[in-house]
């Protein structure tokens, strides 16, 4: 017997939000069109599989795998309604996408719980980032490969933020990031795979920023993030979040999932800093992370 009738299916198929329904064994029984657009996975690929097969591989902001522990759908099957919360799912192309989800029990006509329904949508902050990207395209300040702001734009941003700091004491933070063992991707799998790694990690970065923050490609496998109105503990949380989401990002080559990890140096602007001194200090912290084992953040 179908878990969803035709009229309800027509309504759900025309929603802008992603919707999927699982039965009590957590098998996916319905996957709407918006879910296909948001995740890259079609309903024909997912129907009949279990949500805990880690296809979407939901994680929270700390990198915890929600499919194996803390799954909102499990609680919904128990009859609980799960309020809106942010999770990060694994897009078909490999990057992490921030979404706001809500899980509800799915009941039959008698009121018995026969499964759970999850409703999800992109975090609105990401829409602000996409708008910003469109503006950058007009200024020809995007890196062609990654579609992130390029070095020229980031230098301009740093000058602007430094001027704000000198005039109005508006402090900001800088995170310098580098993909660990990037040469190995090029040497062992070819430059096409290296380019794919750069594009995939760039998508993870750009999808997971606050509206006023920005990350650009500095050069090669190096990236710089500028974070406004932030203190040291806040900067550390952001740097760790990006590190964890990078670690949860992968690129599929053949039948192999290539994991991506980054090392970072994070620092707050100080009086007397200019673009060169700020970059130099962050770069030194980055290479301290490299020397201490990689896949870590070093704070200034």
For residue 135, pLDDT over 90 is answered with no
Which residues have C-beta within 8 Å of that of residue 1, sequence separation ≥ 6? Answer: none
Identify which has the larger pLDDT, 20 or 125. Answer: 20
CATH of 125-299, one of 3.30.70.270, 3.40.50.300, 1.10.10.60, 3.30.70.20: 3.30.70.270
Per-residue pLDDT, averaged over 167-177, amounts to: 94
**pLDDT at 123 > cutoff 90:** no
Tell me what pLDDT residue 65 has: 87
Compute the average pLDDT of residues 50-58. 80
Q: Identify the weakest region by mean pLDDT among 85-94, 102-111, 136-145.
A: 136-145
Mean pLDDT of the chain: 90
How confident is the model over 132-151, as a mean pLDDT? 80
User: Is the CATH number of domain 6-122 3.90.25.10?
Assistant: no
Domain map (residue ranges) of the chain: 6-122, 125-299
**Low-confidence winner among 62-76, 86-100, 132-146, 212-226 (lowest mean pLDDT):** 132-146
Looking at residue 97, what is its pLDDT? 87
Q: Which pLDDT band holds residue 1 (cuts at 50, 70, 90)?
A: very low
> What's residue 106's pLDDT?
92
| pTM (2 d.p.) | 0.72
Q: Which residues are catalytic?
A: 221
């Amino acid at each position: 017997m179908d878990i969803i009738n035709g009229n309800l299916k027509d309504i759900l198929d025309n929603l802008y939000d992603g919707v999927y329904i699982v039965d009590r064994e957590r098998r996916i029984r319905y996957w709407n069109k918006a879910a296909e657009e948001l995740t890259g996975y079609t309903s024909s690929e997912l129907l009949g599989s279990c949500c805990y097969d880690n296809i979407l591989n939901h994680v929270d902001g700390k990198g915890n795998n929600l499919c194996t522990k803390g799954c909102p759908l499990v609680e919904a099957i128990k009859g609980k309604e799960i309020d809106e919360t942010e999770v990060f799912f694994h897009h078909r192309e490999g990057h992490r996408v921030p979404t706001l989800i809500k899980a509800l029990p799915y009941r039959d006509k008698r009121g018995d719980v026969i499964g759970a329904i999850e409703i999800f949508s992109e975090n609105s902050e990401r829409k602000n980032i996409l708008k910003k990207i469109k503006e950058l395209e007009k200024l020809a300040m995007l890196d062609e490969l990654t579609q992130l702001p390029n070095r020229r734009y980031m230098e301009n941003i740093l000058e602007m933020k430094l001027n704000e700091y000198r005039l109005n004491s508006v402090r900001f933070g800088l995170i310098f990031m580098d993909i660990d063992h990037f040469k190995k991707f090029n040497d062992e799998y070819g430059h096409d795979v290296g380019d794919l790694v750069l594009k995939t990690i760039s998508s993870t970065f750009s999808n997971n920023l606050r509206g006023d923050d920005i990350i650009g490609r500095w050069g090669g496998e190096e990236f710089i993030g500028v974070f406004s109105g932030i203190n040291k503990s806040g900067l550390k949380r952001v740097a760790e979040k990006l590190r964890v989401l990078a670690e949860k990002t992968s690129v599929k080559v053949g039948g192999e999932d290539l994991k991506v990890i980054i090392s970072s140096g994070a620092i707050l602007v100080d009086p007397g800093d200019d673009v060169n001194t700020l970059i130099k200090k962050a770069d030194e912290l980055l290479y301290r992370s490299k020397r201490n084992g990689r896949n870590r953040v070093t704070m200034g």
